[in-house]
Structure 1
Amino acid sequence: MAEVHAVKSLDAIKLIGHLLEIRCSKQMSDIWCIGLNLALRISDLLSVKFSDIENDRLVLRESKTGKVANIVLNKKALEVIKRIRTEHPDHVYIFQSYRNRQSISKPPMPLSRRSVTKAFFMIGEEMKISLGTHSMRKTRGYHLYQNTKDIARVMKMLRHSSEGVTLRYIGITQDEIDKDFVDLEI
């Protein structure tokens, strides 16, 4: 599997959301939007239930690490989640699979990671960028770092335990760090 990257251009971030909506579905565009705003791994993002949200806060245990993610939902995430809830009041999952409609006896299931991966890959190929499901999390981390230059804050948001891992994860290269030293003269 090819390594995916953070999307560093704000225009590209908007274009990806737009292309996902027109080429795939509104649901894929919503996944991109919510994923950018929550910085969760795709498996955790797809498993979010409406019942996991209380008082504009999402609380869930991450499947990979077992750590608790306690995330206050920003205005954009809340708007999308409320719209989805209004459009699909009977859904259990925010990103519920529509295939379950075919079988009344089966319990609701979230959308599959595979379908999201396929949609993101297709848009990435169209835009000639390395785009995948981890791009949402990496993109949020990258832009938080660019806005704050506070790697500890980014680590905490991503629930990482090493600065080196976080810098590599969000795509901060040695060249960018060197540029910061050259650009900032005191």
Structure 2
Amino acid sequence: MTKQTEIKDVQPIRSLDRIEDMKWSLKKWCGERDYILFLLGINSGLRVGDLLNIKTSEIRGKQVVSLKEGKTGKRRTIHLGNIYDELNAYIDTLDDAEWLFPSRKGQNPITRVQAYRQLNKAAQMADMPDGIGTHTLRKTFGYWHYKQFKDIAELQNILNHAHPQITLRYIGITDEQIESNLKTFRL
């Protein structure tokens, strides 16, 4: 199985308990940097490449930021109010680091591979045998945004998908789940 296939096969974390398990595991086994990466990823829906390229100066002390997405070139407004305190407490520990997720080796941010390794280490420690990928963060955001607001058009816009069906498949809303909902739908 190639890495490309693995990325396509990752699923969102569909259990709030599992999300809490991951948070605990990241804090205990990986550290604050990796915990904040997970927290920001599941609360923003940004791609991992965009997360890793955030500079501390772009986000320090802000509750709302506008970031340019690498893949689409579009600007995204990210609201950080729900994670503001944790995010800024972490930033305060970085001293003068340029990158929000600095590598311990050199002056660059961590790599995608390192982010993947840390997330999978935490997933194993949280007893998630299938592990997760870096794209799990974005898919988890999409899944829970949809579950909370039920607005696929808005989520499609946030994730920059071309069609609603792509978004539904992306977040794991299967035909079976849709069929089940239609069986109980009544006005």
Structure 2 length as normaliser, TM-score? 0.88
Q: What residue is the counterpart of 1:128 in the other structure?
A: 129
Q: What residue is the counterpart of 2:96 in the other structure?
A: 90
What amino acid does structure 1 have at the position aligned with 2:137?
Answer: M
What amino acid does structure 1 have at the position aligned with 2:65?
Answer: L
1:63 aligns with 2:70: yes
CA contact (8 A) 1:124 1:132 kept: no
CA contact (8 A) 1:37 1:74 kept: no
Secondary structure (helix, strand or coil) at the match of 2:105 reads helix
Unmatched 5+ stretches in structure 2: none
Q: What residue is the counterpart of 1:79 in the other structure?
A: 85
Q: CA shift at 1:81, angstroms?
A: 2.1
Unmatched 5+ stretches in structure 1: 101-107
What amino acid does structure 1 have at the position aligned with 2:165?
Answer: G
Query: For residues 49 and 127 of structure 1, do their structure 2 counterparts lie closer, same or farther at Cα, with a shift above 3 Å needed?
Result: same
Q: Distance in 1 between matches of 2:122 and 2:90?
A: 23
1:34 aligns with 2:72: no
CA contact (8 A) 2:48 2:134 kept: yes
What amino acid does structure 2 have at the position aligned with 1:86?
Answer: D
CA contact (8 A) 1:8 1:142 kept: yes
Q: Distance in 2 between matches of 1:127 and 1:109?
A: 30
CA contact (8 A) 2:102 2:110 kept: yes
CA contact (8 A) 2:25 2:123 kept: no
What amino acid does structure 1 have at the position aligned with 2:20?
Answer: K
Partner deviation per Cα, 1:116-171 (whole Å, 9 max, x = no partner): 11122233444123411111110111011111211011112212221111111101
Q: 2:30 aligns with which of 7, 24, 27?
A: 24
Q: Distance in 2 between matches of 1:73 and 1:34?
A: 8
Partner deviation per Cα, 1:48-97 (whole Å, 9 max, x = no partner): 11222374222221111111112122231x12221122111211111111
What amino acid does structure 2 have at the position aligned with 1:72?
Answer: H
Structure 1 length as normaliser, TM-score? 0.88
What amino acid does structure 2 have at the position aligned with 1:85?
Answer: I
1:169 aligns with 2:170: yes
Cα RMSD of the aligned pairs, angstroms, is 1.6
Q: What residue is the counterpart of 1:110 in the other structure?
A: 109
Q: Distance in 1 between matches of 2:112 and 2:20?
A: 22
1:5 aligns with 2:22: no
Which shifted more, 85-94 or 165-174?
85-94
Aligned length in residues: 178
Q: What residue is the counterpart of 1:138 in the other structure?
A: 139
